[in-house]
Amino acid sequence: MSTPEFDLLIKNVRVVRPHGNVVFDADIAVAGERIAKIAPGIDATRAKTVYDGKGRLAFPGVVDAHMHSGIYSPLAEDAVTESKAAAMGGVTSSLNYFRTGQYYLNKGGAYKKFFPEVLKISKGRFHVDYGYHLAPIAREHIDEIPMLIDKHGVASFKIFMFYGSHGLHGRSDSQRDFLMIGEDERYDLAHFEFIMRGLQAARERFPDKARQISLSLHCETPEIMTAYTRLVEKDKSLKGLAAYSASRPPHSEGLAVFIASYLAHETALPNINLLHLSSKKAVQAALMMAEVFPHIDFRREVTIGHLILDITSKAGELAKVNPPIRPRDDVEYLWEALLAGELDWVVSDHACCRQEMKVPKHYFGNIWMAKSGFGGTEYLLPALVSEGTKRGMGYNHMARVTSWNPAQRYGLNRKGDLAEGFDADIAIVDPAKTWTIRASESPSTQGYTPFEGLELSARVDATFLRGHKIYENGEVLGKPRGQYLHRPTA
């Protein structure tokens, strides 16, 4: 009897690729953790293991390109539990923003010492493949960019534009302490310019990787936010999410997009990612800048939270996030932009923040004292399929914005598509399964979700990471087998 040539055969699925407008019936054969063959009627005797897809959709595994593992809980804990949540949602690649300073590892210093510690803690703990975007916070970090690219495969970097004079959760006068930088350092527009110059110099040093080396920006303007926060705090007519949105107004996002874009032009840095655009004004600003600077390759991101929630959400302060959840008009505009192809990828911005940390009991109901951020990676794909289907969004488009586009931008060249030679990262989705989101059913340690009670019409039934079944029917399976993503991958 001959040895089976395939390790796994997924029979009877409707294959969703990120290109074109067709979903087709086929089987997917896996050998050596890669997709070996996609065709109808592959003989089951050719595989060691057979999985019956029962006519469900097979999406490329989701590349959740915006997560924050280890921000509010120790990385060693978050890596395990939050990657389980990711697996539940069909996510197979988790790209996490990380930095020095308060939160995360709660230490400053050079990345040459800091980042190996991050990698050591991460190893053997993630249930999905994982990578890191890093933020150059201190001056010395700019000089370390080439080392981070060459030695550690970090291909993407971040600027938090509001950190210079505004805290993670609101107004602050102690930013040097928060960022753990020296008395002679400033985290300001000049620093952002020098980051861009340093990154462009690194791109020129590594021309073979330059296409997939990029800079991401959180675009909000601290001076405007600080001034508006004072105004809104005095105005007792606004409460909760509406007050928080007004305190960080959309034009603060738009102005920051303009500034970031001009700095990119000035420094000749062509690969710019505008993160979690939350409002009509922010998206319009981003589209304007693409016309003004056609030589810059702007990519525009939106989160599932900003597509699903609005300021009337019963979640209240549990849905506090930066940039804020916006009024319904902004949400509808984001959908229009997404359907028009003006937004490039959809992410979770997952930041597990347990309730006792999010809003201590004696501050319950106080939006200003709540921490910013919440989890949601497990709902990214099912919520997009549910809501997107209602709005006429095609499955191929969904695969493009959850897998292909972020994989291509961030240097994951074996991820993001269902094709021969690609990693066998596959999410099996039932597009006609109605269910209600309950935080109690998630492996995340958050314990609540702002999406609680939301009825969805699609569910991830199983997730395969490089051909290994890591999730099925509500259960994460086996030990963590996620591998570090040294980018760009070959």
* Predicted local distance difference test score (pLDDT) of residue 340: 98
* Predicted local distance difference test score (pLDDT) of residue 164: 66
The full DSSP string for 21-58 is S-EEEEEEEEETTEEEEEETT--GGGEEEEEE-TT-EE
Residue-wise pLDDT for 410-438, tens only, equals 999 999 999 999 999 999 999 999 999 99
What's the mean per-residue pLDDT of the chain?
96
Residue-wise pLDDT for 94-146, tens only, equals 999 999 999 999 999 999 999 999 999 999 999 999 999 999 999 999 999 99
Residue count of the chain, please give it.
490
DSSP 8-state class, residue 341: T
Q: Which range has the worst mean pLDDT, 149-153, 338-342, 362-366?
A: 362-366
Q: Does 293 score more than 90 pLDDT?
A: yes
Helix (DSSP H) and strand (DSSP E) numbers for the chain? 16, 19
* Predicted local distance difference test score (pLDDT) of residue 401: 98
- Span between the terminal Cα atoms of the chain, in Å: 36
Q: Return the residue matching tokens 């914005």.
A: 401
Identify the band that residue 265 occupies on the pLDDT scale cut at 50, 70 and 90.
very high
Residue 314: CB atoms within 10 A of its CB come to 11
Q: Which range has the worst mean pLDDT, 157-166, 296-305, 403-412?
A: 157-166
Identify the band that residue 364 occupies on the pLDDT scale cut at 50, 70 and 90.
confident
* Predicted local distance difference test score (pLDDT) of residue 33: 98
Distance, CA of 72 to CA of 272 (rounded, Å) = 27
Identify the band that residue 239 occupies on the pLDDT scale cut at 50, 70 and 90.
very high
* Predicted local distance difference test score (pLDDT) of residue 111: 98
Q: Does 18 score more than 80 pLDDT?
A: yes
Distance, CA of 216 to CA of 255 (rounded, Å) = 16
Distance, CA of 321 to CA of 335 (rounded, Å) = 19
* Predicted local distance difference test score (pLDDT) of residue 230: 93
DSSP 8-state class, residue 265: H
Q: Does 148 score more than 70 pLDDT?
A: yes
User: What are residue 59's DSSP bridge partners?
Assistant: 427
Helix (H) or strand (E) holding 242: helix 240-247
Percent of the chain residues past pLDDT 90, beyond the cut: 91
Identify the residue with better confidence: 482 or 360.
Answer: 482
- Over residues 469-479, mean pLDDT: 97
Residue-wise pLDDT for 435-468, tens only, equals 999 999 999 999 999 999 999 999 999 999 999 9
* Predicted local distance difference test score (pLDDT) of residue 3: 87
